[in-house]
Structure 1
Amino acid sequence: MQDDYIRRILGSSVYDAAIETPLEKMGPLSDKLGRAVYLKREDLQPVFSFKLRGAYNKLASLSADERARGVICASAGNHAQGVAYSATRMGVRSVIVMPTTTPSIKVEAVKRLGGEAVIHGDAFDDARLHALKLCEDENLVFVHPYDDPDVIAGQATIGVEILRQHPSGIAAVYVPIGGGGLAAGVAAFTKFLRPEIKVIGVEPNDAASMKAAIAAGRPVPLNEVGIFADGVAVKQAGEETFKLCQQHLDDIVTVSTDEICAAIKDIFDHTRAIAEPAGAVSLAGLRKHAGTLTGPGAAIAIHSGANINFDRLRHVAERAEIGERAEAILAVTIPERPGAYRAFIQLMGPRAITEFNYRFAPGTNAQIFVGVKLSGGDAEVRTIITELEAHGHRVLDLTDNELAKLHIRYMVGGRVGGLENELLYRFEFPERPGALLRFLEGLRSDWNISLFHYRNHGSDYGRVLAGIQVPPRERAMFEAYLDELGYPHWDESDNPAYRMFLAASD
């Protein structure tokens, strides 16, 4: 199977549409990690993503009769633009089915590139099923985003370029994984030509479908998929890509949202380019994993794409310093008396306070939500906590608490008295008309909404925090309603940040 793929890769037709992208050294990060770090700049492709390679190679492999029929795909992102661009270059009709949640910037990009955008369904699976139906009804050729040998071979040309551009020592290549087409192709070619080079797959820790597949020995669906890095938010790895990744990948590293945001910042600081979250996933994995590499050689990350909505940058900027471990978020109990705040700041010494949230509450103690600038990472956080506790303060480290970072920091001071049976849930609502109404209509009239906080950062989903009063005997019924609703959700009722800042007071 590997020999067949090598022939496909070396015979692939991508350069009629794609360009050979540069391999750029990241000086500051190289100095920081003590190893040469390079970035493969796939954001410089005509559609700002590597997906063009696989799409064009697939279309180039079609017969004249197949091209005359036209092609179709289901995609809300970079694959859609790659197929539309490639088809237009070849004079082939392209139909792109996109769910209603697709941001308008991506729909307009597909139209501008010559594709016929068909908007259908509330989620990607709805769009995929509709695309398959149109494929049959109109006798079109389906172009899979990753689980196709010609698509895999086209993506693998990135690996060919890396090995030619950096013929000297390479310790590891870090590759983002969604469905696995890029990782499968790059790993297959790299291991054929330079088996000593480690090929490390990188996935978001809330969308690690390939890691789950390798652990299970077969592709398995994830129950929930986080979609911050929407370009790699795939619920189940492909069959073909799984076989290749299982055989050729050395390891898979998972990264958090904050670590991805820190990598986006690194890319901007060095290149002044802005990566989409999926585009920075591999660099986030490199930052996290490169310290474990043994022996000499460069570490290389693939910057896979730059199709990001501008208003998502607020969220990225907010979380990047936490991802770099350059900021800590703490909840601290101080005395509720004049001068306590000044005494607390004096304890913090010369450290910069990045955020301070407080509201008066009756009692002898006050709860404050504070952000602190760091220069010494996790070790400095431990030092700060030790110093505060030595002076009698209770401290809770919220730096990795998703509820605190998404919602609590904006709601400090919301404690109320006499509130019974409150459950707290965090949701991802699809960003479309009627999503909130559907949620509300399914609630029983005696399940009172006691808290509601909504945030969106230019994504195709909104982050919602809801408090709902549900009697204990009805909680199984409530859980059944949430499962039927189908929105991703997390029970945060026991989250310590909620207990400290928002839960009902006695």
Structure 2
Amino acid sequence: MLTLQDIHAAAARVQGHVLDTPCVESKTLSQIVGAQVFLKFENLQFTASFKERGACNKLVQLSAEEQARGVIAMSAGNHAQGVAYHAQRLGLRAVIVMPRFTPGVKVQRTRGFGAEVVLHGDTLEEARAHAYHLAGERSLTFVHPYDDEAVAAGQGTLALEMLAAVPDLETLVIAVGGGGMIAGVATAAKAIRPGIEVVGVQTRRFPAMVNAIQGTQHPQGTSTIAEGIAVGTPGKITQEIIEHLVDDLLLVDEGDIEQAVLMLLEIEKTLVEGAGAAGLAALVRHPERFAGKKVGLVLSGGNIDPLLLAAIIERGMVRSGRLARVKVSARDVPGVLARITAMVADTGANIEEVHHQRAFTMLAAQNVEIELVLQTRGKEHIEEVLTHLREGGMEAGLM
């Protein structure tokens, strides 16, 4: 079983090779969720992920013979970059097997660190099987993303830093995929402060660890915006540690994660990927569970596909009412469109898109249906726009 001594030894090995990232309070998030929230900014690591810690601790312990042969890893992205970067730094050959769905930004950065990237399979399990095959074929040392004590010990070093920065933390909320981070964090935190609570978070689409620990049978999904924790099979080593040391495991929805990504971007001005926002998503989904507590969250990674981020921002604007789709019906006469747009402008809303529909409508032939996408200040502002249009003789409503 992993020990605090192992994690202190890992901290000594990785010192100077990974950042001691800030762990600071977010007053605004604290007010929103009703708990005192401290954020550990692991997205500031060089590869933008905590995964560097475990990768570095594992690689520096390889024998000279293992280092000469090189290493291979399987990862959806962050472990890949951590292994590739530290292998390059140590002068080791690295082969990384990634599922085909891996965001392009992660693939490009991994190649940028000098690793050979092999895209194989549609799931982590298929990629893992291929990585084991290549490891045997090419005599490479397999560096597991989570089910390895050296890797888990490296990840646990961030808990040492969090408790050094904020010694009286009451609860740590940690994203769980295969369980490497929470295994290391729980081992360190419980040894330093036995009364501390450690809570794991999984996305409802990939609840493998929750099912394994709690005996539930939540169905497994096929995709998630938190691809960093999209693990179908929990680690054996990590599962045993979690059973002994983790107090609770929670599930969050995709919408919760989207909201958390957007909150961190808008409030903290920090870019976090889906898996990195899972901890905050748990506070958003289960505020009563953490009310009044001093809570530490790990922003575990910041490698998000720009197109996915753009979609999250746009969907968030729709949910908050800052982006709205409005349908306006009116007599089809010259100048009607100019009248409608002028009325929208009167209310201070901005038109992003307009679609003038004559043929595909159930209205009378002399009428026209106009669809508008509006930028507004929020839901009250949308109602103000609709009221103004109706007072001007238009039929208007949300789509």
Normalising by the smaller structure, the TM-score range is 0.7 to 0.9
**What SS is found at the alignment partner of 1:11?**
helix
| 1:53 CA drift (Å) | 0.5
How far apart in 1 are the matches of 2:120 and 2:269? 36
**Preserved contact between residue 23 and residue 165 of structure 2 (Cα < 8 Å):** yes
**What SS is found at the alignment partner of 2:73?**
strand
**Preserved contact between residue 152 and residue 185 of structure 1 (Cα < 8 Å):** yes
**Preserved contact between residue 258 and residue 319 of structure 1 (Cα < 8 Å):** no
Structure 1 residue ranges (4+ consecutive) displaced by more than 6 angstroms after TM superposition: 325-332, 350-360, 368-377
The residue aligned with 1:469 is none
Where relative contact order (Cα < 8 A, 6+ residues apart) is larger, the structure is: 2
How far apart in 2 are the matches of 1:236 and 1:331? 45
How far apart in 2 are the matches of 1:45 and 1:108? 17
The one-letter code matched in structure 2 to 1:194 is R
The residue aligned with 1:109 is 109
The residue aligned with 1:9 is 7
- 2:221 counterpart of 1:245: no
How far apart in 2 are the matches of 1:262 and 1:351? 26
Q: 2:221 aligns with which of 220, 224, 237?
A: 224
The residue aligned with 1:131 is 131
The residue aligned with 1:150 is 150
The residue aligned with 1:288 is 285
Rate the CA distance shift 1:251–1:351 in 2: closer, same or farther, 3 A. farther
Per-residue CA deviation, residues 210-256 of structure 1 (Å, 9 max, x unaligned), is: 11212228xx8954233211111111221121112222222222222
The one-letter code matched in structure 2 to 1:56 is C
Per-residue CA deviation, residues 352-408 of structure 1 (Å, 9 max, x unaligned), is: 8999999784489x9x9999989899xxxxxxxxxxxxxxxxx99xxxxxxxxxxxx
The residue aligned with 1:141 is 141
| 1:102 CA drift (Å) | 3.3
**Preserved contact between residue 95 and residue 118 of structure 2 (Cα < 8 Å):** yes
**What SS is found at the alignment partner of 2:80?**
helix
The residue aligned with 1:214 is 213
**What SS is found at the alignment partner of 1:92?**
coil
Aligned-pair identity (%): 37
How far apart in 2 are the matches of 1:76 and 1:249? 25
The one-letter code matched in structure 1 to 2:148 is D
How far apart in 2 are the matches of 1:259 and 1:294? 18
The residue aligned with 1:278 is 275
How far apart in 2 are the matches of 1:200 and 1:357? 48
The residue aligned with 2:304 is 308
- 2:265 counterpart of 1:268: yes
Alignment root-mean-square deviation, CA: 3.7
Rate the CA distance shift 1:24–1:359 in 2: closer, same or farther, 3 A. farther
The one-letter code matched in structure 2 to 1:314 is A
Unpaired runs of at least 5, structure 1: 339-349, 378-394, 397-408, 410-506
The one-letter code matched in structure 1 to 2:296 is I
**What SS is found at the alignment partner of 1:29?**
helix
The residue aligned with 2:196 is 197
Under a length normalisation based on structure 1, what TM-score does the superposition of the two structures give?
A: 0.63
How far apart in 1 are the matches of 2:115 and 2:156? 25
**What SS is found at the alignment partner of 2:174?**
strand
| 1:134 CA drift (Å) | 1.2
How far apart in 2 are the matches of 1:102 and 1:79? 12
The one-letter code matched in structure 1 to 2:311 is H
How far apart in 2 are the matches of 1:119 and 1:33? 40
**Preserved contact between residue 171 and residue 293 of structure 1 (Cα < 8 Å):** no
The one-letter code matched in structure 1 to 2:206 is A
How far apart in 1 are the matches of 2:186 and 2:305? 30
- Pick which of 276-285 and 250-259 moved more: 250-259
How far apart in 1 are the matches of 2:118 and 2:260? 34
The residue aligned with 1:88 is 88
**Preserved contact between residue 17 and residue 89 of structure 1 (Cα < 8 Å):** no
Rate the CA distance shift 1:164–1:206 in 2: closer, same or farther, 3 A. same
**Preserved contact between residue 178 and residue 238 of structure 2 (Cα < 8 Å):** yes
Rate the CA distance shift 1:149–1:351 in 2: closer, same or farther, 3 A. farther
